[in-house]
Chain A
Amino acid sequence: MSLINIFSDYTLRTVALGSALLGAISGVIGTYTVLRKQSLVGDAVSHAALPGIGIAFLLTGSKNIEWLLLGAFISGWLSLYIVNSIIKNSKVKYDSALGMILSVFFGLGLVILTYIQKIPDSNQAGLEGFLFGQASTLLKRDVIVMSIVGGAIIIIIALLWKEFKLLSFDPEFCQVSGFPKEKLDLILTTLIVIAIVTGLQTVGVVLMSDMIIAPAVSARQWTDKLSVMVILSSIFGGLSGVIGTIISSSTRNLPTGPVIVVIISAISIISLFIAPGRGIIWRRMRDKKNKKRLNRNIILNSIYNLNIEGNRIQGYSLEDLSISKGDFNFPINTIEKELEKLETLDLVKGKDEKWYITEKGINEIEDFRGRLEE
C-alpha cells in the first residue's frame, strides 16, 4: 500500500476522506473547547453518546448513520445538561459531576448494547464498533452526512465569528456588552456535541475526546491569532486523519482510530517542543541566551562602576574584578571568558593583563541601565 492507493482504491479513498473531514471538523471546534478550558467536555460527551446510539438502534431498528448520530447527539447533549444542573444546584464540583455522569452513561450504554445483543435477528453487529471506531466501514453516505454537518458547523462559526471569539476570550465582557451570552454558549455547546458525535464512527467513543483537544493544542503553540489557530487546527486534524488511515490500511489488524490518535498526539508533542516563540526548545534557548547576556552585562557593569569610582585611565586586573562588590560573584575563569567575549564586541579592551572599558562599552552599559530604570 502506498500513497498512490489513496487515489485508486475507492474504499480507502472514502475512509481517508471521512477521517480527514472528522479531523478538520473536530480541529475547528476543538479550538473553542481548548480556549474555553472545556477540554474534558469532549471526553464526557463521547462516552455519554453510547446509550443514545443503542436507544436509537432499538427504536428505529436501523443502522443508518443519521438515526444513530441523532441518538448520540441527544444523549451527549443530555449528559452535559445534567452535569450543568448538578453543579448549578449543588456543591458538587465540575470534575466530579463530569466523571460520574460520563461513567454512568457509559455503563448505561453497555447495558443497552448487551440488551440489543440478546434480541434475536437484530442485525446489531457493528454497534460495538462505536467503542473504538471502525473507520473501515465508512460509506460514501456517511461521508456525505459528515460533509453536510461539517459545512453547517463552519458556516455557523463564520457567521458568529466575533461573538464566539468574545465568548472564548472574555465571557464577562461578552455579557456586559449586550451579547446574549447564554444563547451563544448554548449554540457553541451544541456545535461541540455535534462535532464529537460525527466523529464517533471513525475513532470511537473512547478516543474521540482526543480529536477535540490535540489538534487545537498543537495549533495553539504556533500562533496567537484565533483565525490562524482555527485553520491550523483543522489542517492538523485533517492531516492526522489521512495519515492515520493510510498507515492503518497498510498493516493488517491495525485499528484506524488509535493510529489517528497516535499521529495527532505526535503532532502535539512536536508542536509543544519546537513551535517558534512558545515551544519548550525555544524557551530553553531564550533562557540560555538571556542568562549569557545578563552575565556579560554584570561584568561590564562592574568595570564601569570601578571606572566611575576610581581613576579613569587605570585598567583593572581579573583579581580586581572578582572582588569587586556586587550581588553576583563569578569564578575568575568565567570572568576572563566573558571579558574576552566583550573584547570581540569592542566593549572592553585588554592590555598587559589589565582591562579597560571602551567608549562604546560605556555607552552600552549606560543605555542598558537607562532601559532597566524605565
Chain B
Amino acid sequence: MNVQIEIQLIAIVVALACSTLGVFLILRKMAMMADAIGHTILFGIVVAFFITHDLNSPLLIIGAALTGTLTVFLVESINKTKLVSEDSSIGLIFPLLFSIGVILISLYAGDVHLDTDAVLLGEIAFAPFNRFVVNGVDIGPSSLYIMGAILIMNIVYVSVFYKELKISTFDPNLAMALGISPGIMHYSLMTLVSLTAVGAFDAVGAILVVAFMVGPPTAAYLLTDDLKDMIFLSGIIGTISVVLGYWTARIFDVAIAGMMAVMVGAIFLLIFLFAPDRGLLSIMRRKKRQKYDFAQISFLMHVINHEGAKDEREELGINTIHEHLGWNKEFVKDIFNNLYKSNLVYIEDDIIRITDKGRDLAISNAEEIVNGI
C-alpha cells in the first residue's frame, strides 16, 4: 500500500472512531470532559510506558485508557463535594495529571524514548513506519490495526447499547426507571472515549483527538435532529476533513493533523453559515422576513385603528403616516407598495384605506399573535 493512502486511511479510521462516540459526548454536554481526557492520557501513557517500555503494547493502551476513567472519577469526586463547580473540577484535575506526566517525561527524558511533543501533538506522517508483521509478512501499519480494532469496538458498543445510550442521554430519569444505570453507561462511554484517545494519540496527538471527537458531531448536530443520521453525518464530515486536510497540508508542507483539525473547523463554519433552515444566513433571512411580515400587519392595524376617526387625515395621510408609525419614510413606502400590490390597501383622497381582504388578514393575524402570547 502506498504511504499516502495509508496515512489517510489511518486518519479516517481515527476520525470515524472519534465521531461515533463524539456524538454522545456532545449530546451529554461532555465535550470538555473529552478535552480533559485528551490531556490526562499523557500521564497514563507515561506511567504505562515506564512499565511496558513499548509504545505499541496493548497493555500500554489499556493502562493509559484507565487514566481517562480515573479522570472522570476524580472530577466527579470533587464535584460531589459541592465545594467546586463542575467546570472548575474539570479544570483542576486535568492540568495536574498532565503536569505530572510532563514532569515524569522531563525527568527521565534520557532513559526513555518518549517526548511530550510526540504525545501531545502526534505525527501522523510517522504512523506508517511502525509495521504490523505476521509470520514475517508485512500486512500494513500497526496503528491502522490498533485503531481499526478500536473503531470496531466503538461501533459494536454503540450498536449493541444504542437504545440504552439514547435513553440515558436524553432522559436519565426515564433510563433509571427502566433499570438502565446512567452511571454504568456514563463510565463505559468515557472508558471507550479514553481508549480511543490513547489509540489515536500517536497518529493525531492528544489535543487534536478532541477536534475529531467534538467537531464533526457538532457540525452534524446543525444538520439533523435524528441520532442515527447524526452519527453517519459526523462520520462523513470527519472523513472529508481528513482527506481535505491531508492534501492541503501536503501542498503547504505543514502539520498534517493540525490541518485536518483546521478543516473540521472550516466545514463546521460552512455548515454554521449556510445550512438550510439552521444556518446563520437562513436564520437572518427568516428573521428579516418575520420582521417585515410583522411590519405589514402593524401597518394594517394602524389603518384599522384610525379609519373614520377625526384625525384620520393626519394619521393615515400618505405624507404623514410614517410619522405616526414612527418608521423610516422609505420603509413605509416599501410596505405600502407591497400591500397595495397584494390588493390589501388603496388610496382614496390622499388617505390610506384598507380593503376587506386586508382587514381579514390583519385581524386574523393579530388574533394569532395575541393567542400566541
Residues of A within 8 A of B (CB): 34, 37-40, 42-43, 47, 86, 89-93, 95-115, 118, 128, 131-132, 206-207, 209-210, 212-214, 217, 220-221, 251, 253-255, 257-259, 261-262, 265, 268, 272, 278-280
Contact = CB atoms under 8 A, between A and B. Distances in A.
Interface string B232-261: 000000000000000001001111011111
A223 B138 CA distance: 64
Interface residues of B, number: 61
A107 B99 contact: no
Contact of B32 (A99, A207, A259, A272): A99
Interface string B83-120: 11101101110011011101100110100000011001
A89 B283 contact: yes
B258 to A, nearest CB: 3
**Across the A-B interface, the 3 shortest Cβ-Cβ residue pairs:** A107-B261, A104-B265, A210-B95
A120 B218 CA distance: 39
A104 B262 contact: yes
Contacts of A91: 221-222, 278
B32 A262 contact: no
Contacts of A97: 218
B272 interface: yes
Contacts of A114: 253-255, 258
Q: Which of A102, A110, A118, A265 has the most CB of B within 10 A?
A: A110
Contact of A42 (B91, B221, B262): B91
A108 B262 contact: yes
Given A37-B85, A253-B106, 19 more contacts: A89-B280, A98-B31, A99-B31, A99-B35, A107-B261, A108-B258, A111-B255, A111-B262, A206-B39, A206-B207, A220-B83, A220-B84, A254-B103, A255-B102, A259-B99, A261-B95, A262-B99, A262-B103, A265-B96
B3 interface: no
Contacts of A258: 98-100, 102-103, 106
A196 B247 CA distance: 34
A169 B82 CA distance: 18
Contacts of A257: 99, 102
B116 A132 contact: yes
B32 A95 contact: yes
B291 interface: no
B209 to A, nearest CB: 8
B92 A210 contact: yes
B107 A103 contact: no
5 contacts: A91-B278, A100-B218, A103-B210, A107-B208, A253-B107
B221 A37 contact: no
Interface string B21-58: 00000100111101100010000000000000000000
B283 to A, nearest CB: 6
A371 B261 CA distance: 63
A261 B99 contact: yes
Could you say which of A89, A103, A114, A207 has the most chain B C-beta atoms within 10 Å of its C-beta? A103
A265 to B, nearest CB: 4
Contact of B99 (A93, A207, A272, A278): A207
Nearest to A204: B102
A38 B87 contact: yes
B99 A217 contact: no
A98 B34 CA distance: 12
B215 interface: yes
A174 B349 CA distance: 53
B13 interface: no
Given A210-B96, A259-B99, A96 B221 contact: yes
B96 A213 contact: no
A265 B109 CA distance: 24
Contacts of B96: 210, 261-262, 265
Contacts of B78: 272
A211 B280 CA distance: 35
Interface in B299-329: none
B354 interface: no
Contacts of B261: 103-104, 106-108
Nearest to B217: A96
A280 B31 contact: no
B211 interface: yes
Contacts of A101: 265
Contacts of B253: 114-115, 118
A259 B214 contact: no
A100 B268 CA distance: 9
Contacts of B147: none
Contacts of A95: 26, 29-32
Contact of B83 (A47, A98, A212, A280): A280
